[in-house]
């Protein structure tokens, strides 16, 4: 017993000595930016007692192994196709080295944080703490300020540089919120309601020929309904199961609440068989389920109505994630200033043993406003989901090649690295190579819708599955086309597309029309969910990460879109063409053909 007490005392002394070492260790800059992005103006120093929720990312030394698993289980030509990993397996491959865990624990202990103060992710690769600004500034050797964005009226608490003790640099990948100035937003471009100037023109009668050679109601050129989408994408008559284990999910952020009364009214109009059914609500990071009619969210209503309406009776889930509230400088309470919310959603979903197999998100940000380190870590989380057999779709954006970031006066787009160089602005997370980015189309025959986000990532290199398709597009461009405005070696956006204009939804008790790639993502996800349904019924695993299948065996199941373009940044943008293009990707789904291909894969 005396020997045990001696060693315990010695261990405590060593821990205290190392904690003192961290506290006195010289800091070295970990990350910095030239200045706030265009539109943000530094104002007063942040209040010392303002609470920040710091997220600390520890390195993932085995991520390359997880990525290799992802490529193998997602490649229809590989012998391991469909052999998805378990939660425990992906956790192990994302876990930090114990040396990093110990080093960060000791550093946090030196600032008074006990184990019970730390919130750890399932893989232990993220640590979350709540601290006042004064302590964050001490820990990170920085100064936080309030920054104001004139166009939106938002204020946030951020800094342009932060430091860590030099001995911790190899044990910490990043700390946020620090240098991230993103304006995370829903991707809807236009909204008009019945009784006001509608997007739709006068109704049409008769039929027209759809991309699969089938008949489509001519009215679908004016108003998109559930029936239209099933006709256009050749899924009339396919019935999904409510009991085979297949599930679909939608994400909601920024106070976007899916209103059940609106959903019921939508079902009455467009899918009476679904009337009386609902979705599973899941709160993430304090997300709430406000069912007052005035709180209904356009994005949330659109997503749930069309995705759940198309896939009924497949069980649906709506994730409500709290995050990214604007800082209110004059508020008396010490409200927290949160991170961009993908990391919170990923923390939650990756901790669950059972995750819906097809998930759509109609939200995004300008890639350049999300620090590279943070974008990479979030993207890695999507890779883990893909390895577990989850298909993740993201809207590609609503600003064409500019993704909505053009200067209001000149319509030109600029880098935010201090050089103010004119450049196209890709969107994130659509630029992540482990998700399926969905662009937009309009009308039958389909053409690219003018706002369809597309282009090339400046963060992520072109993945192998895109090699032939994307290079073929680049080879068709006239020499010098937009030279210097985009990265020809980057991951191409989007991968696929779907209808994105004139969607008839119910919002706050009224019918109205909405447009945006926020329409196309849940639409494409619905047909992916139907493919999963067919594979499960056939005794096969779900599709998981889609892109290797879509760019190979699934290619003939997509309708190539060859007309239209996506203007932005003072240019006409890229043109749709034969094969993959940076406007509509590989094209839109032909469900019956895709089903045959998916069952044969």
Give the pLDDT mean for 137-165: 93
pLDDT of 329 > 50? The answer is: yes
Whether omega before 177 lies within 30 degrees of 0, making that bond cis, reads yes
* Residue-level pLDDT at 561: 98
pLDDT of 192 > 50? The answer is: no
Tokens 């619905």 — which residue? 526
Give the pLDDT mean for 442-450: 97
Give the pLDDT mean for 542-548: 98
pLDDT tier for residue 10 given thresholds of 50, 70 and 90: very low
The more confident residue out of 340 and 311 is 311
pLDDT tier for residue 151 given thresholds of 50, 70 and 90: confident
Which residues of the chain does CATH 3.40.50.200 include?
191-327+344-600
* Residue-level pLDDT at 325: 52
Pick from 92, 295, 222, 229: nearest CA to 529: 229
Contact of 420 with 34, CB cutoff 8 Å: no
The strand pair at 185-186 and 207-209 is best described as: unpaired
pLDDT tier for residue 177 given thresholds of 50, 70 and 90: very high
Pick from 240, 349, 379: nearest CA to 284: 349
Give the pLDDT mean for 159-170: 97
Of 3.40.50.200, 3.50.30.50, 3.40.50.150, 1.20.1730.10, the CATH number of 191-327+344-600 is 3.40.50.200
* Residue-level pLDDT at 21: 60
Average pLDDT, the chain: 90
pLDDT tier for residue 1 given thresholds of 50, 70 and 90: very low
As a whole-number percent, the residues of the chain with pLDDT over 70 amount to 88
- pTM of the full structure: 0.93
Give the pLDDT mean for 498-527: 95
* Residue-level pLDDT at 322: 84
The more confident residue out of 428 and 183 is 428
Pick from 48, 44, 550, 513: nearest CA to 306: 513
Whether omega before 313 lies within 30 degrees of 0, making that bond cis, reads yes
Q: For the CA atoms of 161, 166, 169, 174, what is the dihedral angle to 10 degrees?
A: -20
Q: Which residues are catalytic?
A: 299, 303, 518
pLDDT of 328 > 80? The answer is: no
The model's pLDDT over 493-503, given as tens digits with 9 standing for 90+, comes to: 999 999 999 99
The model's pLDDT over 205-232, given as tens digits with 9 standing for 90+, comes to: 799 999 999 999 999 999 999 999 999 9
The model's pLDDT over 556-586, given as tens digits with 9 standing for 90+, comes to: 999 999 999 999 999 999 999 999 999 999 9
The model's pLDDT over 286-325, given as tens digits with 9 standing for 90+, comes to: 899 999 999 999 999 999 999 999 999 999 999 999 865 5
pLDDT of 279 > 50? The answer is: yes
How is 386-445 classified by DSSP, letter by letter? HHTT-EEEEE--SSTTSTT---TTT---B-SSSS--B----EETTT-TTSEEEEEEETTT
Burial class of 269 by CB neighbour count within 10 A (0 to 12, 13 to 18, 19+) = middle
Give the range with max mean pLDDT: 19-23, 228-232, 363-367, 419-423: 228-232
- Report the sign of the C-alpha dihedral through residues 394, 395, 396, 399, in that order: negative
As a whole-number percent, the residues of the chain with pLDDT over 90 amount to 79
């Amino acid at each position: 017993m005396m020997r045990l007490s001696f060693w315990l005392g010695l261990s405590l002394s060593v821990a205290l000595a190392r904690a003192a070492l961290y506290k006195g260790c010289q800091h070295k800059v970990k990350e910095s930016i030239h200045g706030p992005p265009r539109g943000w103006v530094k104002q007063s120093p942040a209040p010392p007692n303002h609470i920040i929720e710091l997220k600390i990312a520890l390195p993932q030394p085995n991520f390359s192994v997880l990525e290799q698993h992802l490529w193998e289980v997602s490649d229809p030509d590989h012998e391991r196709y469909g052999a998805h990993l378990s939660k425990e397996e992906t956790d192990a491959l994302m876990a930090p080295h114990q040396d990093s865990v110990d080093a960060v624990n000791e550093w946090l202990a030196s600032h008074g944080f006990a184990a019970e103060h730390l919130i750890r992710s399932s893989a232990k690769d993220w640590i979350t703490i709540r601290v006042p600004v004064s302590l964050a500034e001490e820990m990170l050797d920085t100064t936080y300020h309030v920054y104001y964005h004139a166009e939106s009226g938002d204020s946030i608490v951020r800094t342009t540089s932060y430091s860590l003790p030099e001995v911790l640099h190899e044990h910490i990948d990043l700390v946020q919120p620090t240098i991230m100035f993103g304006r995370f937003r829903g991707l809807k471009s236009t909204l008009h309601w019945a009784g006001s100037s509608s997007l739709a023109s006068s109704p049409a009668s008769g039929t027209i020929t759809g991309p699969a050679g089938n008949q489509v109601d001519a009215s679908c050129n004016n108003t998109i309904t559930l029936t239209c989408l099933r006709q256009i994408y050749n899924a009339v008559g396919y019935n999904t199961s409510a009991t085979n284990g297949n599930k679909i999910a939608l994400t909601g952020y920024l106070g976007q609440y899916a209103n059940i009364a609106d959903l019921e009214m939508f079902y009455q109009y467009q899918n009476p068989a679904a009337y009386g059914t609902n979705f599973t609500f899941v709160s993430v990071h304090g997300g709430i389920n406000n069912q007052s009619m005035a709180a209904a969210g356009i994005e949330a209503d659109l997503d749930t109505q069309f995705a759940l309406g198309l896939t009924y009776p497949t069980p649906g889930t709506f994730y409500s994630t709290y995050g990214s509230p604007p800082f209110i400088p004059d508020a008396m309470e010490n409200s927290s200033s949160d991170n961009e919310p993908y990391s919170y959603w990923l923390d939650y979903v990756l901790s669950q043993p059972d995750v819906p197999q097809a998930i759509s998100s109609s939200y995004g940000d300008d890639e350049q406003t999300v620090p590279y380190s943070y974008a990479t870590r979030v993207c890695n989380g999507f890779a883990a989901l893909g390895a577990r057999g989850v298909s993740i779709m993201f809207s590609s954006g609503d600003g064409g090649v500019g993704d909505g970031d053009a200067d209001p006066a000149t319509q030109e787009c600029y880098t935010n690295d201090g050089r103010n160089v004119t450049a196209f602005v890709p969107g994130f997370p659509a630029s992540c190579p482990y998700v399926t980015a969905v662009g937009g189309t309009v009308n039958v025959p389909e053409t690219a819708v003018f706002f369809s986000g597309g282009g090339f990532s400046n963060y992520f290199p072109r993945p192998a599955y895109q090699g032939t398709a994307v290079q073929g597009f680049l080879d068709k461009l006239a020499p010098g086309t937009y030279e210097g405005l985009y990265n020809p070696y980057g991951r191409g956006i989007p991968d696929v597309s779907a209808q994105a204009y004139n969607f008839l939804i119910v919002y706050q008790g009224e019918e109205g029309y909405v447009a945006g790639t926020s329409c196309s993502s849940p639409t494409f996800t619905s047909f992916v969910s139907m493919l999963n349904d067919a594979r499960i019924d056939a005794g096969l695993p779900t599709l998981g990460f889609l892109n290797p299948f879509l760019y190979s065996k699934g290619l003939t199941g997509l309708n190539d879109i060859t007309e239209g373009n996506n203007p932005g940044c003072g240019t006409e943008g890229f043109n749709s063409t034969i094969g993959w293009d940076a406007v509509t990707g590989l094209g839109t789904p032909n469900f019956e053909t895709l089903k045959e291909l998916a069952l044969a894969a």
